[in-house]
């Protein structure tokens, strides 16, 4: 296993059930699989959890608590700005865009070719709490990945 790879991502949501419905649709499309979190794990962590697994990583959601439970997310403040997933091709970006419209998701930017790298084509959207996500096809984008030490 490579040092520095992403192991897991944990997101906090205001409504676990409605966010689970949203993420089930989006993450299933992207290729993640929902897994049940053992009750003993949830008890040890003192929170309810929903988890999806991808190739070598997982993403979980948990409910917000206490005085922060209804705080609105601001992606321009320090903290989480957005998370981008890889699309195999432009058609996949378009298909997710159609799914987003079908489920009434907040679409921040419709599919478009951005000047980040040649052929970079992406859709941007938000979850029910305003967390920003991107689904991008980026041919040749591998040049930005770190090479492992020999």
Tens digit of each residue's pLDDT (9 = 90 or more) over 61-97: 999 988 877 788 888 888 889 999 999 999 999 999 9
CB atoms under 10 Å from CB of 1, counted, come to: 6
**Can you name the CATH fold of 81-142?**
2,3-Dihydroxybiphenyl 1,2-Dioxygenase; domain 1 (3.10.180)
Superfamily of domain 1-66: 2,3-Dihydroxybiphenyl 1,2-Dioxygenase, domain 1 (3.10.180.10)
Query: Which residue, 120, 119, 117, is CA-closest to 136?
Result: 120
Residue 149 has pLDDT above 60, yes or no: no
What are the sequence ranges of the domains in the chain?
1-66, 81-142
- Answer whether 1-66 and 81-142 agree in fold: yes
Residue 145: pLDDT band with limits 50, 70, 90:
low
Residue 150: pLDDT band with limits 50, 70, 90:
very low
Q: Which long-range contacts (CB under 8 A, 24 or more apart) does 98-101 make?
A: 99/25, 99/26, 99/29, 100/26, 100/125
Please state, in angstroms and rounded to a whole number, the distance separating the CA atoms of residues 126 and 110. 12
pTM of structure = 0.88
């Amino acid at each position: 296993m490579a040092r520095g790879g992403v192991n897991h991502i944990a997101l906090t949501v205001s409504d676990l059930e409605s966010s689970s419905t949203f993420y089930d649709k989006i993450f299933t499309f992207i290729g993640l699989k929902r897994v049940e979190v053992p009750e003993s794990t949830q008890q040890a962590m003192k929170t309810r959890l929903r988890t999806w697994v991808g190739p070598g990583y997982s993403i979980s959601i948990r409910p917000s608590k206490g005085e922060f439970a209804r705080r609105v997310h601001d992606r321009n403040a320090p903290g989480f700005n957005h998370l981008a997933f890889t699309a195999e091709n432009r058609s996949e970006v378009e298909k997710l865009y159609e799914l987003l419209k079908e489920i009434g998701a907040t679409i921040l930017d419709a599919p478009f070719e951005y000047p980040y790298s040649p052929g970079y084509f992406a859709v941007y959207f938000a979850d029910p709490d305003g967390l920003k996500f991107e689904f991008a096809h980026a041919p040749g984008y591998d040049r930005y990945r770190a090479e492992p030490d020999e």
